[in-house]
Amino acid sequence: MVYEAPAPEKTGASLLSGKLLAKNTLLNLLGNLLPVAISIVAVRLLVDGLEIERFGLLNLAWIIIGYFSLFDLGFGRALTKLVAERLESARSNEIPSIFRTTILLMLIASSIGGLVAALLTPWFVGSVLRLQGELQRDGVWSFLILATAIPWVVVTAGLRGYLEAFQRFDLITAVRIPMSVFSYVGPLIVLPFSQSLTPVVAVLVAGRIAGMFIHFGLCLNISRELLQRWNVSFENIGELFRFGGWLTVSAIIGPFMIYMDRFLIGVYLSVITVAYYATPYELVSRFSLISGALAGVMFPAFAASYAQDLQQARKIYLRSVKYLALALFPVALACVTFAHDGLFIWLGAEFAANSALVLQILAIGMWMNNLALMPFSLIQATGRPDLSAKIHIIELPFYLILLIWLTTSFGIVGVAVAWTLRSLVDTLVMFAVSHRILHLSLQIYVKIILLGLIGIITFGLAALPLPLHLRLIGYPVVLVGTLLATWRYLFEADERTWSLGLLRQWKT
């Protein structure tokens, strides 16, 4: 029996059509952006309602929830790739077996991870974070509760990966929005009753558990065959481990390099300083709302197109990089140009004084880091996760040495510099590897590097301490100049035609 893909996108052509990819990217972006306004208000209320040390711990809790994905051993991304490749092939009947095997492996691995995390909690809170008294008890109970959430979070990632393989970002968005909103509103609900972090974390975990059951129901709605015969395929296990093994390395080292800065601040500086660094970091990390929306759609598209049509894979890849750079540029430029003003209005003079320079440096690094997500996704989607993992293995020791030195020497500004320098190196290498996989010319690689260099120089000029009125004038001037240069030198003829068609439709 041949496995039937869900209507309406049933053919390989439709699953790779530009219209569908654009629609799903917008849906993904919508699911990421809508909770942002709520999070901005919620952070302000949480800063006021919690002591600054507990707010710093809450930031660590949010980080740890995001880091739980490492316990899936790369199986979630492997599930997306394997299902996407089989949807329109003669092996589509293997999809239910792949799903069952993957979810079972993820549940086992994440349960072991949760147990290990629970056992390490007292040591981590007492010896690493060096918390004392009531704050220590609060931290221990909070992190123990987080440990119980690991299986739920990991299995949810696998279920979402299954939906992504079918390009069902409409369903993913419908769940992501309320879950993301609850991550910020949930703690606010607790504040009138308790300023302890423990019930706040408990509410966050309860939201994740509910999200897992909702995702599972959506998967069953697409494929009712998933509950039939929970057999485990040893052939699938081998394939999952071959692909997922290297993904696990990246899943461990990549987030480790991303999040280690805040943990080292807590160790070498103070928990209070974590808040001054983590707040601008969380702000610029919202860049991933745009890049993640695009990458989530492009990963299965890369996997399918690379297997079917290399020329189409090249076109999809280059345009995704171009559109992502353009989409992120105005946001990053605004963060650099108005860093102090924005923080002052949002969180007050103290936060602005301590965090403005950090925000400017991190905005540049985050722009580069998010651009690297496209080649990173391509490398993994084309079956070479070993390459991205090896890159991260080589980067790790150099980054840790640099990070520790700059943290102890220059505080959180040094941390931001180290993070940005690592992002620069990682971006250059990822693009070089992806260009080799797609057999792109050196000229294209050099062109991308030059455009990136122009962007960095522009950010540097925007960071100059000019009067506010000059910055208010200069910001839109730069954006208009960028738009005109893009239209003249970067857009191809069909892109101009498509853009003009959209403009005419909008006018009518």
**Tens digit of each residue's pLDDT (9 = 90 or more) over 290-302:** 887 777 777 777 8
Look at residue 61 and tell me whether its pLDDT is greater than 80: no
Q: Which residues contact 449 (CB under 8 A, 6 or more apart)?
A: 428, 431
Of 43 and 413, the structure prediction assigns the larger pLDDT to 413
Helix H, strand E, coil C: the string for 120-180 is: HHHHHHHHHCCCCHHHHHHHHHHHHHHHHHHHHHHHHHHHHHHHHHCCCHHHHHHHHHHHH
3-state secondary structure of 496: helix
Which burial class, exposed, middle or buried, applies to 431 when counting CB atoms under 10 A from its CB (0-12, 13-18, 19+)? buried
Cβ atoms of residues 201 and 61 within 8 Å: yes
Rounded Cα distance between 319 and 315, Å, is 6
User: Binning pLDDT at 50, 70 and 90, where does residue 11 land?
Assistant: very low
Of 82 and 91, the structure prediction assigns the larger pLDDT to 82
pLDDT tens-digit map of 343-377? 888 778 888 888 889 999 999 999 998 898 889 88
For 142, the token pair is 């909070």
Of 3 and 207, the structure prediction assigns the larger pLDDT to 207
Chain mean position to CA 223: 27
Distances in whole angstroms, Cα of residue 245 to Cα of each of 225, 250, 351, 484: 28, 9, 42, 45
Rounded Cα distance between 66 and 198, Å, is 18
| Span 83-96, average pLDDT | 70
Of 24 and 217, the structure prediction assigns the larger pLDDT to 217
What pLDDT was estimated at residue 285?
Answer: 81
Rounded Cα distance between 242 and 386, Å, is 10
pLDDT tens-digit map of 388-420? 788 888 888 898 899 889 988 888 889 899 999
Distances in whole angstroms, Cα of residue 230 to Cα of each of 94, 212, 214, 215: 13, 19, 20, 18
Helix H, strand E, coil C: the string for 308-336 is: HCHHHHHHHHHHHHHHHHHHHHHHHHHHH
What pLDDT was estimated at residue 161?
Answer: 83
Chain mean position to CA 168: 19
**DSSP classification of residue 89:** S
Rounded Cα distance between 457 and 329, Å, is 12
pLDDT tens-digit map of 100-142? 888 888 888 888 888 888 888 888 777 767 777 777 787 788 8
Distances in whole angstroms, Cα of residue 377 to Cα of each of 2, 16, 54, 260, 380: 29, 16, 36, 22, 5
Give the range among 381-390, 415-424, 436-445 with minimum mean pLDDT: 381-390
Look at residue 51 and tell me whether its pLDDT is greater than 80: no
